[in-house]
Amino acid sequence: MSETSLDTPIPGGWSDTKPATPEVQRITNKVKLQLEVRVNRRYDIFRAICYRTQVVAGVNYLIKVQVADTEYVHLRVYEALPPEDECPALVRFQTGKTRDDPLIIF
């Protein structure tokens, strides 16, 4: 029996929640305008806090984003694998979240 790292994603399965990285913030920044258009609101704060991933024919991300002092949104974002050089796509979102709301699949 071989050992596997706990950080190794299981294809089709969701990772545990992890603190946001600069790469996750980059993805978050790329979908900011998509969210602002869909909710008809502009955000001055747009800080990725934590995230989960799911490896499919690309990567799905669930990202908790701080948008005000005590207001958060949850984003579901899809990013194609290279060589597809497409922008990440905002698939779904949930508004009215708090810092303590768990990042669950939606």
Q: Is residue 13 part of a domain?
A: no
Q: How many domains does the chain have?
A: 1
Domain of 81, in residue numbers: 18-97
Q: Is residue 106 part of a domain?
A: no
Q: Is residue 6 part of a domain?
A: no
> Whole-model pTM?
0.84
State pLDDT tens for residues 47-104: 999 999 998 888 999 999 999 999 999 999 999 877 666 789 999 999 999 999 999 9
Contact indicator for 54, 15 with CB cutoff of 8 Å = yes
Q: Is residue 8 part of a domain?
A: no
Sign of CA dihedral 87, 79, 18, 70: positive
Q: Is residue 103 part of a domain?
A: no
Q: Is residue 105 part of a domain?
A: no
| Selected residue with higher pLDDT from 97 and 8 | 97
Q: Is residue 10 part of a domain?
A: no
H-run or E-run covering 38: helix 22-39
Q: Is residue 79 part of a domain?
A: yes
